[in-house]
């Protein structure tokens, strides 16, 4: 086990982790570590497999640190990776590059591939479904809300509160249903495990929507 930790420590150097943290946040870093160490506790785990995982990790890290990389080149590097979790992370990175270059169609295609691939990690699948709903403007507001609700109701989905936040935005801005929007925001604000950033956004919107709800009710009760 100690040899494995040395391998991982070598593969995940501090400066690389810092870059990944800034780009993806702690959640995906945790995902990456789980991918690498997830099978380490299995009895009889062979050293060659550890070395293979380290090699795969380095392919992934080298690919995403290449400043000249495009989403196409990242996808080509992802094809060299046999570790499903690392392959998912590489493809998520490729989709991010496509978004940065305003190629939303390509990003959606990558996310759809992840979400429908039986070999994808469930965490990557959740992220992909969430991003598809965010990006696909061909979806109606009703369909987007339906998808966000499904994601927010799934207790295994680590992005469920982000989906609920998006559902609140739809309720308010597409349907002018401020009561429903505030109900969704209330769930977010009450969740103790959430990052303060998301909770603060929910709180700010709740104040705004409370005012809009009051104004709407006042207008509806206005005598003719």
How does pLDDT run across 126-176, given as a tens digit for each residue?
999 999 999 999 999 999 999 999 999 999 998 999 999 999 999 999 999
pLDDT for residue 119: 85
pLDDT for residue 82: 79
Q: Are residues 14 and 113 in the same domain?
A: yes
Say how far apart CA 47 and CA 56 lie, in whole Å: 14
Q: Are residues 166 and 117 in the same domain?
A: no
From 72, 103, 137, the end of a domain falls on: 137
Q: Are residues 116 and 155 in the same domain?
A: no
Q: Are 186 and 206 in contact (CB under 8 A)?
A: yes
pLDDT for residue 144: 97
Q: Are residues 108 and 92 in the same domain?
A: yes
Q: Are residues 152 and 111 in the same domain?
A: no
Say how far apart CA 159 and CA 203 lie, in whole Å: 18
pLDDT in tens, 204-214: 999 999 999 99
Say how far apart CA 110 and CA 75 lie, in whole Å: 9
- Per the structure, the count of domains in the chain is 2
Stated pTM of the model: 0.74
pLDDT in tens, 62-97: 777 777 889 999 899 888 887 787 888 888 889 988
What's the burial of 9, exposed, middle or buried (CB within 10 Å: 0-12/13-18/19+)? exposed
- Out of 32-36, 72-76, 125-129, 186-190, pick the least confident: 32-36
pLDDT for residue 64: 72
pLDDT for residue 44: 45
> Domain range holding 15?
1-137
Reply yes or no on whether the pLDDT at 46 is more than 60.
no
Q: How many residues does the chain have?
A: 224
* C-beta pairs of 15-22 under 8 Å, 24+ apart in sequence: 16/61, 16/65, 19/65, 20/64
Residue 103, SS3 per DSSP: coil
Q: Are residues 120 and 156 in the same domain?
A: no
Task: List, in sequence order, the alpha helices (H) in the chain.
Answer: 2-11, 14-24, 26-37, 47-65, 71-78, 84-100, 104-116, 122-135, 141-153, 160-173, 178-190, 196-220
From 137, 162, 193, the end of a domain falls on: 137
pLDDT for residue 87: 86
Q: Which residue has the higher pLDDT, 32 or 157?
A: 157
b/e 173-194 (16+ beta carbons within 10 angstroms → b): eeeebbebbbebbeebbeeeee
From 95, 110, 137, the end of a domain falls on: 137
Q: Are residues 49 and 17 in the same domain?
A: yes
Q: Are 91 and 117 in contact (CB under 8 A)?
A: no
Q: Are residues 224 and 116 in the same domain?
A: no
Average pLDDT, the chain: 80
Q: Are residues 99 and 144 in the same domain?
A: no
Q: Are residues 13 and 104 in the same domain?
A: yes
What's the pLDDT band for 3 if we cut at 50, 70, 90?
Answer: very low
Reply yes or no on whether the pLDDT at 18 is more than 70.
no
Q: Are 98 and 106 in contact (CB under 8 A)?
A: yes
Reply yes or no on whether the pLDDT at 11 is more than 50.
no
Q: Are residues 83 and 9 in the same domain?
A: yes
């Amino acid at each position: 086990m100690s040899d494995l930790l040395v391998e991982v420590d070598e593969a995940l150097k501090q400066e690389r982790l810092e870059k990944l943290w800034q780009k993806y946040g702690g959640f995906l870093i945790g995902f990456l570590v789980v991918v690498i160490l997830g099978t380490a506790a299995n009895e009889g785990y062979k050293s060659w497999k550890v070395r293979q995982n380290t090699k795969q990790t380095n392919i992934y890290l080298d690919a995403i640190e290449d400043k000249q990389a495009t989403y196409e080149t990242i996808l080509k590097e992802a094809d060299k990776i046999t570790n499903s979790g690392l392959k998912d992370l590489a493809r998520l990175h490729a989709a991010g590059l496509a978004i940065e270059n305003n190629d939303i169609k390509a990003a959606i295609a990558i996310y759809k591939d992840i979400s429908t691939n039986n070999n994808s990690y469930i965490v990557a699948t959740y992220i992909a479904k969430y991003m598809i709903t965010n990006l696909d403007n061909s979806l109606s507001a009703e369909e987007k809300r339906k998808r966000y609700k499904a994601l927010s109701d799934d207790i295994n989905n680590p992005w469920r509160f982000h989906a609920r936040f998006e559902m609140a935005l739809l309720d308010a801005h597409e349907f002018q249903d401020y009561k429903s929007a505030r109900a969704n925001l209330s769930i977010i604000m009450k969740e103790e495990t959430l990052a303060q950033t998301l909770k603060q956004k929910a709180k700010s919107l709740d104040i705004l929507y409370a005012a809009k709800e009051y104004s709407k009710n006042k207008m509806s009760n206005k005598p003719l």
